């Protein structure tokens, strides 16, 4: 390919991405001017400093999440951010660049993954279903396969920029690691804020589960668990710096903050995963000859900090809800094993499903259709019939459809809706609660029995008194209100269909507070949560891959992991301490995946693939794998001579 043809191809590719981004921003239901300005500023900075994305992308991956307010989770603002990154870097690729040699094993792994993802996506999508208002707003939609697949697809879009960065920027891997570390601290700060706002920072006897910035927790599982287990080992980046002793106070402070966010998840899995990951990381550091003393010192320092924390908090932690969960580990393990067996039993017994899986993102729909041993999830559907738009729901396990609406305490509001039901025993309930994601407080409850003739539209009206809804805390003299959401749910026989539209909530000044109340824009501004989570996740990474992608998916991901581990072990034996940190991170990811179906969350899948690619890619410029240790020995010799 000539340089001119190559340049035109890269420009065309970037232009397509930019058109998609412009369409996304123009159509976004909230904050589109702010998004447009933010993307433009980021694009300008990225054009000037090509390495910025190595920090910004992993840092924003867990934090840039507007789904609870926008209602968009199939293609969201972080996806647009990835496309902005890929588009700007593609324009750079239009300039002549040297070819980067790639390990043959990585190419084989990519080939297997591309084949697995393509076939598993096709298994779920084909034949193509008609595009409806529900197609990109429901996990039961066949197009959910595209949502799940995008994590790997985005990693492919970023693969070429990553190879160029590692080849041309000697600190590329270190920058990416610091990006993950910044993302970790961002999640930790959000966790502290959420906990302070709802339970108090030092309240340990509570069932409140912190979700921080992860909107994907609306159906449970543990994306925050995986993120913490994968990124806490990146604190080790501070220990391998030349001036690591001076950084110890910062390392301890960030470690305590991260540990706090880990504890308030109320989950056992990430605690175990982080402990194993740190053990693996320290052993790997001990294997790097120049840093053995530092690894031993870091171990003693870590044990000292942990001992102080345990001594100070042990009487409290022994009576915490997290301690109670550890007491139930045996029973919960048996329960999880049963769920994994039941999940795999839902597959179609054919050679195709064994080899290629049931299709990406297919578990929620198949569980809803076939499950007999576990309760089925509540169904819902956004419907557009000509000029009529409404939301249909079928009673079942509790599902709360809601919208963020600010409430003022002890105030009066006026609610209205139109509802019709196929059964006279149905009910419609409205709740206005203080709610972050899963646990609510100070709710108002208003129920409407639907006793009219089945199939007839009813106009429901109610005056809502907020009472305590809208409470909060004071900080430095300022009042900080808890976030509030207006939600509704339905009840009745499981075969009952209940249609809802024309929702309205007005204050005493007759101002409309709800957006998209008639669902003419589909799911925009509406977001939902559930109480029961087994219906939405397999709750295990291996089971998740086997269900969605079959044995080909297991082989593809397994080969990528094997290639990554071989490369890391080789670099650790060559005294590369950075590889020890990456090995610990990968360990945390894999161990936490024992209890989380990680790959059904595309952001986590993207983080995993970027991590693996970074580990496998060789440094073709800058210091060699053992350069850090050699530099330190040289510095010590010079200091002795002086």
- Please give the C-alpha separations between residue 486 and each of 250, 263, 489, in angstroms, as whole numbers: 41, 30, 11
What does the pLDDT read at residue 307?
66
Instruction: Note if the bond before 127 is cis, omega within 30 degrees.
Output: yes
pLDDT at 627: 46
pLDDT (mean) for 612-621:
84
Q: What is the pLDDT of residues 266-307, one digit of tens each?
A: 888 899 999 999 889 988 888 887 766 767 766 676 666 666
> Is residue 2 over pLDDT 90?
no
> With bands split at pLDDT 50, 70 and 90, how would you rate the model's confidence at 96?
low
- Nearest CA to 488 out of 507, 508, 451, 462 is that of 462
What is the CATH code of the structural domain delimited by 379-530?
2.60.120.260
pLDDT cut 90: percent of the chain above it: 66
pLDDT digit string, tens, across residues 32-72 = 999 999 999 999 999 999 999 999 999 999 999 999 999 99
Which pLDDT band holds residue 626 (cuts at 50, 70, 90)?
Answer: very low
**Average pLDDT of 374-402?**
89
**Calculated CA dihedral for residues 549, 554, 556, 559, nearest 10 degrees:** 170
State what percent of residues in the chain have pLDDT above 70: 90
3-class SS letters over 272-289: HHHHHHHHHHHHHHHHCH
Q: How many CB atoms are closer than 10 A to CB 461?
A: 10
- Give the residue-averaged pLDDT of 566-575: 92
**CA-only gyration radius of the chain, Å:** 26
Of these ranges, 3-17, 31-45, 125-139, 276-290, the one predicted with the greatest mean pLDDT is 31-45
**For residue 243, how many other CB atoms are within 10 A of its CB?**
8
Place of tokens 């393509």: 118
- Cβ(17)–Cβ(140) below 8 Å: no
* Nearest Cα residue to 467 out of 437, 439, 441: 441
The pLDDT confidence band at residue 630, using thresholds 50, 70 and 90, is very low
Instruction: Please tell me the predicted confidence (pLDDT) of residue 90.
Output: 93
Instruction: Identify the pLDDT of residue 313.
Output: 60
Q: What is the pLDDT of residues 172-231, one digit of tens each?
A: 999 999 999 999 999 999 999 999 999 988 887 778 889 999 999 999 888 999 999 999
Collapsing DSSP to helix, strand or coil, 84 comes out as helix
- pLDDT digit string (tens) for 181-197? 999 999 999 999 999 99
pLDDT for the residue 309: 60
Q: Tokens for 2?
A: 């000539």
- The whole-number pLDDT of residue 124 equals 93
Which pLDDT score is estimated for 100?
72
Q: Using CA atoms, how far apart are residues 348 and 298, in angstroms rounded to an integer?
A: 51
Q: 427: which strand partners?
A: 449, 491
All structural domains of the chain with their residue ranges: 106-124+138-371+533-617, 379-530
- Cβ proximity of 277 and 271 under 8 Å: no
Q: Report pLDDT for 316.
A: 61
Q: Over 70: is that where the pLDDT of 15 sits?
A: yes
Q: At what angle do helices 104-125 and 602-616 cross, to 10 degrees?
A: 160
Please list, in sequence order, all residues whose beta carbon lies within 8 angstroms of the beta carbon of residue 15, skipping any fewer than 6 positions away.
none
pLDDT of residue 629: 46
- Smallest CA-to-CA distance from 228 within 181, 175, 194 is with 181
Lowest mean pLDDT among 215-229, 317-331, 583-597: 317-331
Is residue 364 very low, low, confident or very high in pLDDT (cuts 50, 70, 90)?
very high
Q: For residue 242, count other CB atoms closer than 10 A to its CB.
A: 11
| pLDDT at residue 642 greater than cutoff 80 | no
Residue 625 binned pLDDT confidence (cut-offs 50, 70, 90): very low
Kindly indicate the confidence band of residue 318, based on its pLDDT and cuts at 50, 70 and 90.
Answer: low
Average pLDDT over residues 407-422: 93
| 639, pLDDT greater than 90 | no
Scanning the structure block, which residue is given the tokens 């019709």?
420
Phi-psi region of 370 (alpha: psi -120 to 50; beta: other; left: phi over 0): alpha
pLDDT digits (tens, 9 = 90+) for 471-489: 999 888 889 999 999 999 9
How high does pLDDT run on average in the chain?
89
Q: How far apart are CA 555 and CA 354, in angstroms?
A: 12
Please tell me the distance from the alpha carbon of residue 543 to that of residue 600, in angstroms, as a whole number.
Answer: 11
């Amino acid at each position: 390919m000539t340089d001119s043809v190559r340049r035109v191809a890269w420009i065309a590719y970037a232009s397509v991405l930019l058109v998609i981004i412009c369409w996304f921003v123009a159509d976004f239901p909230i904050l589109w001017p702010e998004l447009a300005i933010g993307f433009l500023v980021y694009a300008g900075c990225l054009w000037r400093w090509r390495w910025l994305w190595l920090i910004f992308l992993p840092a924003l991956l867990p934090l840039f999440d507007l789904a609870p307010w926008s209602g968009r989770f199939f293609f969201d603002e972080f996806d647009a951010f990835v496309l902005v990154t890929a588009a700007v870097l593609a324009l750079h690729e239009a300039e002549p660049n040297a070819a980067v040699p790639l390990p043959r094993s990585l190419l084989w792994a990519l080939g297997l993954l591309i084949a697995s993802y393509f076939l598993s996506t096709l298994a779920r999508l084909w034949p193509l279903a008609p595009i409806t208002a529900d197609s990109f707003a429901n996990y039961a939609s066949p197009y959910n396969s595209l949502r799940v697949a995008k994590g790997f697809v985005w990693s492919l879009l970023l693969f070429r920029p990553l190879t160029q960065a590692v080849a041309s920027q000697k600190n590329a891997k270190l920058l990416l690691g610091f990006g993950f570390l910044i993302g970790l601290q961002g999640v930790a700060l959000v966790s502290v804020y959420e906990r302070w706002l709802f339970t108090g920072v030092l309240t340990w006897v509570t069932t409140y589960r912190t979700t921080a910035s992860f909107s994907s927790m609306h159906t449970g599982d543990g994306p925050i668990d995986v993120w913490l287990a994968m990124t806490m080992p990146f604190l080790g980046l501070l220990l391998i710096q030349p001036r690591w002793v001076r950084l110890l106070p910062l390392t301890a402070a960030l470690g305590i903050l991260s540990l706090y966010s880990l504890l308030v998840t109320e989950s056992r899995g990430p605690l175990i995963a982080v402990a194993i990951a740190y053990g693996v990381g320290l052993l790997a550091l001990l294997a790097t000859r120049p840093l053995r003393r530092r690894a031993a010192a870091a171990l003693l320092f870590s044990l000292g900090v942990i001992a102080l924390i345990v001594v100070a908090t042990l009487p409290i932690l022994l009576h915490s809800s997290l301690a109670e969960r550890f007491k139930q580990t045996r029973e919960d393990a048996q329960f999880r094993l049963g769920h994994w067996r039941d999940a795999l039993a839902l597959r179609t017994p054919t050679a195709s499903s064994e080899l290629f899986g049931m299709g990406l993102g297919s578990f929620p729909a198949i569980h809803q259709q076939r499950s007999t041993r576990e309760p089925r999830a509540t169904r819902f559907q956004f419907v557009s019939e000509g000029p009529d738009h409404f939301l249909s729901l079928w009673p079942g396990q509790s599902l709360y459809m809601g919208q963020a609406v600010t409430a003022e305490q002890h105030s009066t509001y006026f609610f209205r809706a139109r509802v019709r039901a196929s059964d006279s025993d149905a009910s419609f309930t409205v709740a206005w609660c203080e709610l972050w994601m899963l646990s609510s407080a100070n709710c108002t409850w208003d129920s409407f029995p639907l006793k009219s003739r089945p199939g007839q539209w009813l106009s429901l009206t109610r005056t809502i008194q907020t009472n305590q809804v809208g409470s909060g805390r004071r900080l430095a003299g300022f009042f900080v209100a808890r976030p509030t959401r207006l939600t509704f749910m339905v009840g009745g026989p499981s075969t009952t269909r209940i249609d809802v539209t024309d929702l309205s909530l007005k204050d005493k000044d007759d101002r409309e507070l709800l957006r998209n109340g008639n669902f003419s824009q589909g799911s925009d501004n509406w977001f939902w949560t559930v109480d029961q989570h087994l219906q939405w996740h397999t709750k295990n990474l291996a089971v998740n891959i086997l269900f969605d992608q079959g044995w080909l998916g297991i082989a593809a991901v397994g080969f990528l992991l094997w290639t990554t581990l071989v490369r890391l072990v080789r670099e650790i034996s060559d005294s590369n301490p950075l590889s020890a940190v990456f090995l610990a991170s990968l360990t945390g990811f894999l161990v936490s995946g024992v209890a989380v179906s990680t790959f059904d969350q595309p952001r986590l899948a993207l983080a995993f693939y970027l991590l693996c690619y970074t580990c496998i890619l060789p440094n073709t410029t800058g210091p060699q794998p053992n350069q850090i240790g050699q530099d330190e020995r040289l510095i010590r010799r010079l200091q002795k001579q002086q």
